[in-house]
Copies of this chain bind each other. A is one copy, B any other.
Amino acid sequence: MSETATLILDSAERTARQGGFNSFSFRDIAAEIGIKSASVHYHFPTKEALGEALAERYTERFLAALGEPEAQAPQDMLRRYVALYGSALKEDGLMCLCGMFGAEIAHLPDGVARKTRAFFERNMAWLQAVYAADGLAEGAAFQRAAHMIATLEGAMILARSMGEDRLFDTVTYDLV
């Protein structure tokens, strides 16, 4: 991937994680990185393609940061999972990209919706593996994984809505 394509994704991701899929535009991206909007279309022909690339890169980075589900003790892996959401919110000051896309999934182009769903499926699989390693049965692991993702995504929304990032820690304090 070219450096320009990376700059495009960086710009789009930051804006999308504040205002959703309709908040970034080819023009704004182009202006921010000092090229013309037609050149953005050269790298990503349609907005759907750009959105897919965004969700895909985000998912890959997210899972890479998590590592293998059995890398350490289950409790440590869960703490790492919570911390990854927390750093996204507190260090970057941004929502989870796929949480944002997930909220508006009914209005997204098909390809973007698919990639968004894939993020959650892969996160579910990762968490279920951790809970399974902790000795939980399949059904219980599934339930706990869904609860974990839901609580973290919701905690980001609540913290941002109330303008108080510490709320994220309040919600997640006894989650692991």
Contact = CB atoms under 8 A, between A and B. Distances in A.
Interface of A: 18-20, 22-23, 95, 98-107, 116-117, 119-121, 124, 142-143, 146-147, 149-155, 157-158, 160-163, 167, 170-171, 173-174
A140 B37 CA distance: 51
A160 B119 CA distance: 13
Contact of A19 (B107, B161, B174): B107
Contacts of A160: 102-103, 105-106
Contact of A173 (B104, B143, B167, B170): B143
A28 to B, nearest CB: 12
A103 B107 contact: no
A93 to B, nearest CB: 8
A20 B23 CA distance: 10
A149 to B, nearest CB: 6
Contacts of A19: 22, 104, 106-107
Contacts of A103: 20, 95, 99-100, 103, 157, 160
